[in-house]
Amino acid sequence: MRLLGLPKEILYLIAENLELEMDLNRFTRTNRLLRGLLTTYLYRNNARHYQSSALHWAAKHAREAVARKSLENGAQPLTRLKPRGPTALDMAVGSGHVGMVKLLLDNTTQTKIVVQSALTMAIKMRHSAMVKLLLDSNLFDLNRGEVYDPTFLQLAAWYNCPEVVTLLLDKIRQTSDDNIKKCSGALHLASRGEREVIVGLLLDAGVFDPLMSITDASQSGHEGLVKLVLDEARSYDQRKELARKALITATDYCRPRVVRYLVDFEDVDPNTADHENRTLLWFVAQLERPVNIETANILLSHKYVEPDLKDRDGRTPLSIAASLGMVDMVNMLLDHWKVDAKSRDNEGLTPIMRAAEAGKAHVVEALRPYYDTFQDRE
């Protein structure tokens, strides 16, 4: 008897006894009759026993017709071929096919997606249309990303995608205005990464952690971000304190552009000192890199700067620079009219004595003209 002469029930039994999906697929493709008869069974068998691999293939290659057949026969968009592998939804997002993603979302039975990889991938791709589609599904928890990973808003801030940040802020705001205030982590990343547009969006939305933001912006050397944060200060006193913190940080990290912007700021004290009375200039004078020289020059240009203020041990910035052999820094300090080349520390030592003690002959030669007598050099 010919194969096609067998009853349909027998053909189904033959299909059910084929262990390998490859054999079942070949059997189905023997002729048109078997293909029409067993295609539904083939897709259903794939969904039951092969983790909906046909749907994964369709999602990866943007084959909507195949995806529809798989879904109609029990395939699930969130199944994985491997324990830590991507879902079909992940593959569709990765392929950038919006239509396929919409089809899979419409056929998802879950009310919440536990694993957030699809939205994470869309944000990293900076695909705003894809992100909007995923957000509109209300399947994602916006307060967290993957385990040990940043939140979605932090991710969008770091990848510098203003459109995605705007979408996420709008969605977060729909839940509660209080949630917006908890997004300071995104502001932190945007400030550190010099994402000025992102920082502006976050500040406009009400995300404001002034101290952290001004510190990050000053440390990165971005005066535009410093200005943005200062403009958002809620009072004059807060603005003044933020400017002081920014000046300390920018000086510590030798960010001349930020220092230049801040020394012109009203009521910023260029003589700010720590608990040991070490001034900003004291710290800058310890190194002779070009940025240190430039930063020191900016501080010295301030009309209220006191370059001879002493630390707890009675040492001035000139004394520190001399003992460390920073001849260019020494020369620049000596050019300032307020610097006393003969200032003595608590041990009674002058800068030239400190330089001689440390064996810095080139600094001794630079200081020698400022000492009138032999006794001054002793």
Tell me, which fold does domain 269-378 have in CATH? 1.25.40
Distance from C-alpha of 218 to C-alpha of 87, rounded to nearest angstrom: 42
Q: Is 227 helix (H, G, I), strand (E, B) or coil?
A: helix
pLDDT computed for residue 265 by the predictor: 76
Distance from C-alpha of 50 to C-alpha of 195, rounded to nearest angstrom: 45
Whether residue 137 has pLDDT greater than 90: no
Cβ atoms of 126 and 164 within 8 Å: the answer is yes
Q: Is 273 helix (H, G, I), strand (E, B) or coil?
A: strand
Point out which residues pair with 212 in neighbouring strands.
none
Mean pLDDT of the chain, nearest integer: 86
Whether residue 194 has pLDDT greater than 90: no
pLDDT computed for residue 147 by the predictor: 43
Q: Quick one: DSSP state of residue 312?
A: T
Cβ atoms of 246 and 217 within 8 Å: the answer is yes
| Nearest alpha-carbon partner for 153 in 173, 139, 133 | 173
pLDDT computed for residue 84 by the predictor: 81
Whether residue 198 has pLDDT greater than 80: yes
Q: Give domain limits for the chain.
A: 269-378
pLDDT computed for residue 222 by the predictor: 85
Q: Which residues contact 212 (CB under 8 A, 6 or more apart)?
A: 184, 187, 188, 191
**Res. 177 pLDDT band, cuts 50 70 90:** low
Q: Is 96 helix (H, G, I), strand (E, B) or coil?
A: coil
Cβ atoms of 160 and 198 within 8 Å: the answer is yes
Cβ atoms of 114 and 78 within 8 Å: the answer is no
pLDDT tens per residue across span 272-326: 999 999 999 999 999 889 999 999 999 999 989 999 999 999 999 999 999 999 9
- Dihedral sign from CA coordinates of 213, 215, 217, 223: positive
Point out which residues pair with 87 in neighbouring strands.
80
Q: Residue 244, class by beta-carbon neighbours within 10 Å (0-12 exposed, 13-18 middle, 19+ buried)? A: middle
Distance of CA 298 to the CA centre of its chain: 30
DSSP string, 209-272: -HHHHHHHHHHHT-HHHHHHHHHT-SSHHHHHHHHHHHHHHHHHTT-HHHHHHHHTSTT--TT-
pLDDT tens per residue across span 78-101: 888 888 889 999 999 999 999 999
**Res. 377 pLDDT band, cuts 50 70 90:** very low
How large is the average pLDDT for residues 105-133?
85
Whether residue 145 has pLDDT greater than 50: no
Whether residue 19 has pLDDT greater than 80: no
Q: Quick one: DSSP state of residue 82?
A: S
Whether residue 375 has pLDDT greater than 50: no
Query: How many other CB atoms are there within 10 angstroms of residue 1's CB atom?
Result: 6
pLDDT tens per residue across span 218-275: 988 888 888 888 888 888 888 888 999 999 999 999 999 999 999 887 678 899 999 9
pLDDT tens per residue across span 56-79: 999 999 999 999 999 999 998 988
Whether residue 15 has pLDDT greater than 80: no
pLDDT computed for residue 372 by the predictor: 63
Whether residue 146 has pLDDT greater than 50: no
pLDDT computed for residue 325 by the predictor: 95
Tokens 């001004």, located at residue: 214
pLDDT computed for residue 144 by the predictor: 60
How far apart are the two ends of the chain, measured CA to CA in Å?
121
Rama region for 324: left / alpha / beta (φ>0; ψ in -120 to 50; rest):
alpha
Whether residue 37 has pLDDT greater than 90: no
- Residues of 151-177 as b/e, b for ≥16 C-beta within 10 angstroms? bbbbbbbbbbbbebbbbbbebbeeeee
| Nearest alpha-carbon partner for 377 in 368, 355, 330, 343 | 368
Token duo for residue 230: 């200062």
Residue type, 175: T
